[in-house]
Amino acid sequence: MSSRPWPLGLAVREGLATARTGRWTSLLVGLAVTWLVAAPGAADAVAVSGLIDDEQAWIDAGGHVYVVEGARTDEGQRPIPVDACESLRGMSGVLGAFALSRTQDSGTLSHIPAGRASLYDVSAGALPFLSAAPADGGVMLATSSFAERTGVVDGEIITVARRGPLGTEPALSDPLTARIVDTAIMGDEFDGALLVPSQLGLTAQSCYVQTDAAHDAAVVQVLPSLLAYEGDPAVANPRLFSSDFTVDYTHAYELRPLRWLWVPAAALLGLVWAMLQWFRRSHIAIYATFGMRAAPRLAMQLAEWGALAIFGVAWGWGIGVTGALALGAHPAQAVSQVSAHAILTIAGASMAVTLLGLRPVGTLLNSLKDR
C-alpha cells in the first residue's frame, strides 16, 4: 500500500477529465458562465456609455462651469479681479477660466453694417475656454448664430466697428481674424454676440471657470476667496443648476445599480454548481469511497470548475464585448466593464464553489444510493 493516495496533481487531472467528458453538465456550466459573464457586463457597458454620453452633453451645456461674480455690498456689485481670474487657469482641477464684462457698446462688421451684435470684453483665457485658436494680429470671437446671420466664416479677416451711445462715431478695430465659437457652455444670453479678447482692464463683471469632475467640489470651495475683491469674497454659481430631479454625474457612475449585477450572476453560478454537485453526489461519494479526502476533492472540483470557467469566460467575454458594441457601448467601456464583470463574477462564483467543495460528503451510503 502507498501512504499517499490521491496526490493533488492526480486530483486536478481527474477534475479536468471530468470537465472534458462531462457532456451536458459541462455544457450547462459552460453556457451558464458564458451568459452570466456576457449579459451583465454588456448591460453595464451600455449603461456606463450612456452615462458618459449624457455627462458629456451636460458638460457641453455648461456642466462643471461656474459663473463667479462679485459680492453685492452696500456699495453695489463688487467686480472680479481679472488677473486672479486668469491665474485660475494654472490651478489643478481647473480646465479653463476667463473674465468677462458686458459692454454698453454694439459691434458690426465694417463690411456688413446691418449685422449689429452685443459686445463682450473677455480676457485671454476665453480662447482656450471656447477652443478657439489664436491668430497673429488678434482674433474676434463670433458666436455661431452671428456667423450664420452675417455669413462670416472662421479665419476670415474682419474689421469690427464698435458703436457707443447714440450720437458717437464708431471706432474701427484693427483687422482681426474671426473665430466662430460655440457659446452654449456659457449660456443662451451670448447667442449672436461678439466676444472681444484683451479689451478688459483690471476688473471684470464675472469670471467663467470650468473644472474637471474630480476637483469640482474642491475648486468651487476656494473660488470665493481666490476671486475676492478688496476682502469681499466672490459668489460662485453653477452655470447649470441642479436639483433632486437632475442627475448627479459626480456620483452617477458609483451609484449605478448595474455595477452590482455580478453579485446575482455569481450567486446564480454558485447555485448552478450546487445543484450540479447535488445531482452528482454519488460521484463524489465514489471518490470518497476510494480514498479521496477533503483536500484532493476540493482540488478536483476547483480544477473542473476552473476549466469550465475559463471556457465560459472566454466565450462570455467575447460575446459580452461584441454585444455591448452592437448595442452602442463605447469600445473602452465595452472592454473594461465586461472584463470587470467577468473577473468579479468568476471570483464570486469561485468562492461559492470553494465553500461547496469544503462541505463534508456526509453519509456515503446515502450519497451512493442518491438519497
Partner 1 sequence: MQLSVREVVYRYPRGDHHVLAGVSCDVPAGTTAAIIGPSGSGKTTLLSLMGHLLPLQEGEIVAIDAHGREHSLAETASWVLQTVSLLPDRSAADNVALGAYSDGATRADAAVRARKCLAAVGLAGRDNDAARILSGGEAQRVAIARALASHRPIILADEPTGQLDATTSARVLEAMIGAHGERTVVIVTHDPEVAARCDLVFELRDGLIHEKSRA
Alpha carbon distance 364, 195 (integer Å): 86
CB of 275 to partner 1, least distance (A): 17
The residue (of 327 and 364) whose beta carbon lies closer to partner 1 is 364
CB of 281 to partner 1, least distance (A): 11
Nearest to 124 by CA among 197, 186, 203: 197
Nearest to 185 by CA among 216, 210, 206: 210
The residue (of 4 and 251) whose beta carbon lies closer to partner 1 is 4
The residue (of 241 and 290) whose beta carbon lies closer to partner 1 is 290
CB of 255 to partner 1, least distance (A): 47
Alpha carbon distance 161, 117 (integer Å): 10
Residue numbers at the binding site for partner 1 (CB under 8 A) = 1-7, 10, 13, 17-18, 21-23, 282-283, 285-287, 289-291, 363-365, 368-369
The residue (of 17 and 310) whose beta carbon lies closer to partner 1 is 17
Nearest to 345 by CA among 48, 47, 36, 39: 36
The residue (of 87 and 289) whose beta carbon lies closer to partner 1 is 289
Residue 129 contacts residue 208 (beta carbons within 8 Å): yes
Residue 100 contacts residue 67 (beta carbons within 8 Å): no
The residue (of 201 and 291) whose beta carbon lies closer to partner 1 is 291
Question: Strands 80-81, 203-204: parallel, antiparallel or unpaired by DSSP?
Answer: antiparallel
Alpha carbon distance 41, 60 (integer Å): 28
CB of 368 to partner 1, least distance (A): 5
Residue type, 15: G
Residue type, 207: C
The residue (of 10 and 252) whose beta carbon lies closer to partner 1 is 10
The residue (of 62 and 357) whose beta carbon lies closer to partner 1 is 357
CB of 2 to partner 1, least distance (A): 2
CB of 22 to partner 1, least distance (A): 6
Nearest to 85 by CA among 145, 43, 125, 39: 125
Q: Report how far apart, in Å, the C-alpha atoms of 320 and of each of 32, 270, 339, 344 are.
A: 13, 20, 9, 14
Q: Report how far apart, in Å, the C-alpha atoms of 176 and of each of 106, 109, 142, 313, 359 are.
A: 17, 11, 11, 60, 81
CB of 28 to partner 1, least distance (A): 13
Residue type, 208: Y
Grid cell digits, residue 257:
445599480
CB of 296 to partner 1, least distance (A): 10
The residue (of 13 and 215) whose beta carbon lies closer to partner 1 is 13
Alpha carbon distance 320, 324 (integer Å): 6
CB of 51 to partner 1, least distance (A): 46
Alpha carbon distance 138, 158 (integer Å): 11
